[in-house]
């Protein structure tokens, strides 16, 4: 277990320490003793089979959900035990970019990026303009600032949402499926942007994704989750040469392996002959 070595390590921006979590109306634990350390200033990929709880993990880090047990520390502060006002302050230091992270459809691109600055800072409009233009420049959309979201392509929308999510200069940015639904060119652009922004802004990034090949080109560190825990972690090179069957199945996209292709069911013969019900 990572528990004791994790405590307060300044090299880790986020430390997840032995958490247990289930949703309120469910008795099914998504996590049992999950521990993870997110290195500061790096890009960490979190992967695992569908429905394992990756988006949930980001919401736990963001403090929207609380684990039943265990700690989630951000820069040493245990998020689940923070007061509402403390959590509000801490959330300004992190940003989440969800796949559905839609822009406000009735505002220009410019106003979308200015929105968090107008909401959460007391900066003058003049200063806001400078920041918005810098953020738009960073994602290559300065020239598109007068457009409405409906006039943007899918890839441009994603980039505009990215500019909005860095408007307040967060320390941590969490991406949920950032490449989903993108054509190869805009996927390439987004991959490059995530890497460049991480380096130039000194960010720490967490990327939840199914796009193994793409994310391995930019991730410094990778966690693979399965069976309610971390089943593998390391640099992309370490994981690619791992002989752990689950890690291998996942990274090589094999349809069957320790994670079965079939949802549990009686044998087909039994079912067709009426011998059993799926229990």
Ligand X SMILES: Nc1ncnc2c1ncn2[C@@H]1O[C@H](COP(=O)(O)OP(=O)(O)OP(=O)(O)O)[C@@H](O)[C@H]1O
Residues that bind ligand X (CB under 6 A): 23, 26, 30, 50-56
Q: Which is nearer to ligand X, 54 or 73 (CB)?
A: 54
Handedness of CA 68, 73, 78, 83 (dihedral sign): negative
- Rounded Cα distance between 193 and 197, Å, is 6
- Rounded Cα distance between 67 and 19, Å, is 6
Q: Which two tokens stand for residue 29?
A: 């634990």
For the bound state, the minimum distance from the C-beta of residue 16 to ligand X, rounded and expressed in Å, comes to 14
For the bound state, the minimum distance from the C-beta of residue 226 to ligand X, rounded and expressed in Å, comes to 10
Q: Which is nearer to ligand X, 30 or 167 (CB)?
A: 30
For the bound state, the minimum distance from the C-beta of residue 207 to ligand X, rounded and expressed in Å, comes to 12
β-strand 204-208 against 221-226: which pairing, if any? Answer: unpaired
Q: Which is nearer to ligand X, 54 or 135 (CB)?
A: 54
Q: Which is nearer to ligand X, 26 or 27 (CB)?
A: 26
Q: What is the 3-state secondary structure (H, E, C) of the chain?
A: CCHHHHCCCCCEEEEEEEEEECCCCCCCCCEEEEEEEEECCCEEEEECCCCCCHHHHHHHHCCCCCCCEEEEEECCEEHHHCCHHHHHHHHCCEEEECCCCCCCCCCCHHHHHHHHHHHHCCCCHHHHHHHHHHHHHHCCCHHHCCCCHHHCCHHHHHHHHHHHHCCCCCCEEEEECCCCCCCHHHHHHHHHHHHHHHHHCCCEEEEECCCHHHHHCCCCEEEEEECCEEEEEECHHHHHCCCCHHHHHHHCCCCCCCCCCCCCCCCHHHHHCCCCCCC
For the bound state, the minimum distance from the C-beta of residue 217 to ligand X, rounded and expressed in Å, comes to 20
Q: Which is nearer to ligand X, 143 or 257 (CB)?
A: 257
Q: Which is nearer to ligand X, 56 or 204 (CB)?
A: 56
For the bound state, the minimum distance from the C-beta of residue 190 to ligand X, rounded and expressed in Å, comes to 18
Q: Which is nearer to ligand X, 23 or 104 (CB)?
A: 23
For the bound state, the minimum distance from the C-beta of residue 56 to ligand X, rounded and expressed in Å, comes to 3
């Amino acid at each position: 277990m990572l528990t004791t070595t994790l405590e307060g390590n300044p090299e880790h921006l986020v430390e997840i320490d032995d958490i247990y979590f289930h949703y309120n109306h469910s008795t099914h634990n998504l996590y049992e003793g999950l521990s993870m350390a997110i290195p500061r200033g790096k890009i960490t990929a979190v992967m695992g089979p569908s429905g394992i709880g990756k988006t949930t993990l980001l919401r736990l880090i963001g403090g929207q959900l609380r684990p039943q047990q265990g700690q989630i520390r951000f820069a040493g502060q245990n998020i689940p035990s923070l007061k509402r006002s403390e959590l509000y302050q801490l959330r300004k230091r992190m940003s989440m970019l969800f796949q559905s992270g839609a822009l406000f459809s009735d505002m220009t691109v410019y106003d979308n990026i200015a929105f968090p600055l107008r909401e959460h800072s007391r900066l003058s409009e003049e200063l806001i303009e400078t920041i918005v233009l810098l953020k738009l420049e960073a994602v290559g959309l300065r020239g598109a600032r007068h457009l409405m979201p409906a006039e943007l392509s899918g890839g441009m929308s994603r980039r505009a949402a990215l500019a909005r999510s860095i408007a307040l200069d967060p320390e941590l940015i969490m991406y949920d499926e950032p490449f989903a639904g993108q054509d190869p060119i805009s996927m390439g652009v987004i991959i490059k942007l995530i890497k460049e922004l991480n380096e130039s802004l000194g960010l720490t990034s967490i990327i939840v994704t199914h796009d193994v090949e793409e994310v391995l080109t930019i991730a410094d560190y990778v966690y693979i989750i399965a069976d309610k825990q971390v089943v593998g972690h390391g640099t992309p090179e370490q994981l690619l040469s791992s002989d752990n069957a689950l890690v291998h199945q996942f990274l090589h996209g094999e349809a069957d392996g320790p994670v079965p292709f079939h949802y549990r069911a009686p044998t087909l013969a039994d079912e067709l002959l009426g011998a059993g019900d799926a229990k």
